[in-house]
Amino acid sequence: MQPATPRSPHMRLRRWDFAGDGPELPQLSSRRRKPRGAKAMRDLQPLAEPSSRSLTERTLDAAQDWSVHSTPRGLEATCGLQLSDESRARFFGHRTGLDVEAELQRQAVLLKGLLRDVAIMRDTVWHLSDELAGVSAPQNDFEQLSAEVRELQRAFGSFSREEEAERGKLTSYQESRSLEETRFEEAQSFRELETRFEEHSRMLESRFEELNPSFRHLETRFEEHKSMLDTRFSEMQSLSRLEARLEEHGQMLETRFADHTSMLDARLEDLKLHKEDVQGLHQRMADLELFLRSEVSRQSLLQLSASVAEEVVEQASARATPLLRLRAQDQSRPSTSPARPGGAAGVELQWLLSDLLPQTHAERVAEVAAEMAREVVHAVLTNLEFQVRETPSPQP
């Protein structure tokens, strides 16, 4: 059995060719899906388009246009901020797909807020860079003017050196030539120097007049920045005071927490002692209950037997007295009297005695037993309440 060459990557290890004219296995069909990250690629596509703006600006603008809740329900998952119904029903570790989607939504909201903050910071930084450029331009002009002044100073130095050289020449000329020629040359050289000095003076005055507004603007900007720095320093001092107060409150809270902890520990120890006292009281109550039950059982039997005996004797005497009187009357009568014991009245009297005495005795015994039970229960409850009242309560 030789494996056939697969026609597609999805059919790998799923289809074989058998030797002989066997039936060919059906091919598995795979549903075409969108590539992973298609939504992210579509969102980032504006970044790849040619633009005159920088990559940072385009990235921030594209990120601000991202939507968190724009994916409609029922669509397939595209690795975006919302999952499909199939992905929501799955489990990712100890979380469900709904938990993962909620976490993605939360992270997206946080990312959008961070991007908004970055955009605000970007505008602030760009404004500061523009202000810095506006401040640095007069400074550059001032440096250029300083360089020109230095060049003029060097020119004046060269002029002074030339003047000294000319004076040396004049002295040499005075030695070699006549005094008039020397004076004429000296006057001519002085006129040239005065002319050049006047030209340089006019040029410097015009340059200073041109840079005077720039100097004033620079002074104004320096004053504004100085006031802003003073404000920032005052805010920093207030923040330091707030931090000191926060540290004081933190120390106070720690102290109060330690006090409450010690108080709760002491209260816990008291409750433990109270619990032990209550357990001892419960044990004493159980022992007292067992003792009362044993005592009540013996006393109740004795009292019940004594009361039953007394009640039986009283009932028997109360029932026997009228019967004995009737029997004595019957015996005193003549034998022919119809009320003799052998007559109908005697038979009825014997039937009543045989029927009423056992029934009356049983009922009375039941009543006496019920009364004794009630008295015993009442006595037990009374003694128990008395014992509980006499038992000292545990100290808290």
How many residues make up the chain in this entry?
A: 396
- Distance between CA atoms of residues 63 and 82, nearest Å: 17
Half-sphere exposure of 304 (CA within 13 A, CB side): 18
Average per-residue pLDDT for the chain: 69
Residue 167 to residues 156, 164, 181, 366: CA-CA distances in angstroms?
16, 5, 14, 163
Sign, CA dihedral 207-209-213-216, equals: positive
- With b meaning 16 or more CB within 10 Å and e meaning fewer, what string describes 72-90? eeeeebbebbbbbeebeee
DSSP code, position 7? S
Q: Give yes or no for residue 288 having a pLDDT over 60.
A: yes
Domain assignments of the chain as residue spans, ordered by start: 59-64+79-176
Structural element, H or E, at residue 138: helix 97-176
Q: What local confidence, expressed as pLDDT, does residue 364 receive?
A: 59
What are the backbone angles phi and psi of residue 37, rounded to the nearest 5°?
80, 20
Q: Taking 70 as the threshold, does the pLDDT of residue 358 lie above it?
A: no
Give how far Cα 171 sits from Cα of 159, 160, 181, 187, 194, Å: 18, 16, 12, 14, 20
Residues 6+ apart with CB under 8 A from 36: 78, 79
Give the model's confidence band at 301: pLDDT under 50 very low, under 70 low, under 90 confident, else very high. Answer: low
Tens digits of per-residue pLDDT, 325-342? 666 666 666 555 544 444
Mean pLDDT of all residues in 55-77: 55
What is the average per-residue pLDDT within 102-109?
84
What confidence score (pLDDT) does residue 300 get? 63
Distance CA 211, CA 144 (A): 11
Predicted confidence at residue 389, as pLDDT, reads 55
